[in-house]
Chains A and B, each alone.
Chain A
Amino acid sequence: MDLTQILLLPLSQFFAATTAAYVLCALGIALHFGYTGLLNFGQAAFAAVGGYAFAIADKYLGFGLFGSLLFAIACAVVYAFILGIPTLRLRADYLAIVTIAAAETFRFVMISGQLGSWSGGSEGIDAWGKDFYDLNPIPSAVYNVFGIPLTERQLWADIVGWAVVVVCAVLMVVLTRSPWGRALKGIREDEDAVRSLGKNVFGYKMQSLILGGVFGALGGVVFSLNSQTVQPTVFGTNFTFMSWTLLLLGGAATVLGPIVGGVVFFVIFLFLQNLLMGLQGAGVLPFITSDQAAQIPFVLMGITLMLLVIFRPQGFFGNKKESQING
């Protein structure tokens, strides 16, 4: 059992680009659910749209780094319209069903291979994002960050990933404290009341869906750029539910919540996974296999999610009164 492995690797999640990617997705859900009351159970699709659009634009269309980024954002906006126009007039629970179905549909279309090399089938698309790493100003070396060795490449991905988080979080703080954010919260409480006050509820919900979706797409871009591949299996339902867990851990109607929730979640998650696998490898847990040891944290994640919703719906930072799941 390698103790440094068990302790250090989870700590690396503090600043990992993958954590930043999930945090971005959770920020998007915070805007959808925490502020607007939209139940989006398909955030993985926004991330997938972002990742695939970026990869295709970068590898096949030659849009360059910023062109690809804009293309990814534009695709997320289009996807939000496709999702929102038919469903945003319906009740929140219908949106939940449609978002989860649409996310799976998108993923299966990507897997199907019907799109040929454009989506790469179940292999996905790899070997792209060169422009991004060419921009890296950090000299080539292995850096020691709080005892964790990181290449200049990894460091660059982490820094950019968290920079995107900061930009999105600041944007969200400004927006949610403005009268625009107040209208969103009003819609969360009672759509008809807000309608009776002369506000275009459908328009606000669409804007929220788009902006939160773009955050998700940026999360997908960060996630995919980090590994320079985009694969359909990554963007399954567990991607969405992980985002939800770290959102609810931190607090749904907050901006800081998803960020701190994300860091705490991944540190604990990886620590448990490493610890259990380490213990299993050392023969301390003879009644489980190593595969099971890797899966147990997912079970615990599910249980945590349930306990959170029941006992602490406001998360770490939320205002309890403002975050009751059931009004």
Chain B
Amino acid sequence: MNDMVLSIEPQIPALRRYARALVGNSASADDLVQDCLEKAVSRWHQRRDGDPRPWLFAILHNLAISQFRRQAARGPHVAIDAASEHDVRQDAVQESQMIYLDVLEKLSKLPEELRSVLLLVAVEDLSYAEAASVLGIPIGTVMSRLSRARERLQRELDGTSAAKAPVHLRSVK
């Protein structure tokens, strides 16, 4: 029990950050984290040995995905995006850093499957293999999504959408 608390508790801030960056709205992000923690506590005995981080992120990610699906099935996609951008913007404004606001807004424009890879790898420091297991995709797909995510975000940041294509090297799968 104590072992479980010691393993899970330090991860909660990162889980919140991932959820918020993924879904935008801070209240629904915390809902997801809460569901995730409850699942983690009840399934603690089912986890495999080793670092609990990828396991926790996988639970959280799957919850987020099923929430996206439910919302998509419900219809008005607009409301979510509006709410998410608003919330992310609020967080950024508190930081009084316009540049952060800008990158978060552009991040939120990335499709979910690119955003999740970028966040897990570049922000949450998961290895490529761990990100692959969290997302349930091959490592090669992680790499190609990471590449596309960075390229698209960079294009947004540079304000050079549809400008000259960047120099690309072959991606090894």
Q: Are A and B subunits of one complex?
A: no
Where the two chains meet, the residues of B that have a C-beta atom closer than 8 Å to any C-beta of A are: none
* Chain A residues at the B interface, C-beta cutoff of 8 Å: none
